[in-house]
Amino acid sequence: MAEFDLTNALSPDYLVGLDRLSLSGLRAKRDACAELETELSYLRRLAQARIDLILAESERRHLGLADPSPEDLVELLPQILSEHSRGAGAGRLPTFFAPAQGMLLQLAARVEQLLPSDQLGSLPALSAKELGERLEALSDLERDVSADRRALHDIQDRLQEELVRRYRTGEANVDALLR
């Protein structure tokens, strides 16, 4: 298969001709989408973690609490980061449990651009305006990534439907999997 990326997967042409695609080609498309979805999920969680930290800092300021020491911040991290760790719905079990290394670096770089890791412990030093700008940029990124993930879910569903259709109609045979 040619170079696979989000643009390819979300192209209207990606699902054209599924009924003429070989079974292995159909599975390859489904698996490529699943891997890309896992990578997007990772990017989304990186963005959400930073959003959660900014929101916690904003709330701390709103409550008039003193700046946390690095030790206090480390102690609070599990609570801050666990609040939004799972969205509503049943979710999907990933086929892949870690993003591919090349894509991982690209995805992390997108989030790092908006709020570098080395600034996470320095959120109290940022102005309210800077916090707001970063929150907005990260929220926009998270929304975009979520929309892309939903679109990929729809594509994966369509690919899976075609696989199921083939088994139901006898075009594909379970015995062939066992050989």
Whether 46 is in a domain gets the answer yes
Whether 165 is in a domain gets the answer yes
pLDDT of residue 64: 87
Q: Which of 57-66, 67-76, 134-143 has the lowest mean pLDDT?
A: 67-76
- Tokens in use for 74? 């480390």
- 107 in helix, strand or coil? helix
Identify the CA nearest to 82 among candidates 127, 49, 126, 130.
49
Domain encompassing residue 65: 21-77+99-178
Whether 90 is in a domain gets the answer no
pLDDT tens track for 19-53: 999 999 999 999 999 988 888 888 898 899 899 98
* Cα within 13 Å of Cα(94), Cβ side: 13
Which are the contacts of 18, defined by CB distance < 8 A and separation ≥ 6?
A: 26, 158, 159, 162
pLDDT of residue 67: 80
* Cα within 13 Å of Cα(101), Cβ side: 0
Distance, in Å, from the CA atom of 83 to the CA atom of 77, rounded to the nearest integer, reads: 10
> pTM, whole model, 2 decimals?
0.76
Whether 11 is in a domain gets the answer no
Whether 108 is in a domain gets the answer yes
Phi first, then psi, for residue 11 (nearest 5°) are -65, 140
Whether 92 is in a domain gets the answer no
pLDDT of residue 39: 86
pLDDT tens track for 88-137: 555 554 444 454 455 556 767 888 899 888 888 888 889 999 999 999 99
Whether 54 is in a domain gets the answer yes
Contact between residue 41 and residue 153 where contact means Cβ atoms under 8 Å apart: no
Instruction: Domain count for the chain, please give it.
Output: 1
pLDDT of residue 97: 47
Is residue 1 scored above 80 in pLDDT? no
Whether 87 is in a domain gets the answer no
Distance, in Å, from the CA atom of 163 to the CA atom of 158, rounded to the nearest integer, reads: 9
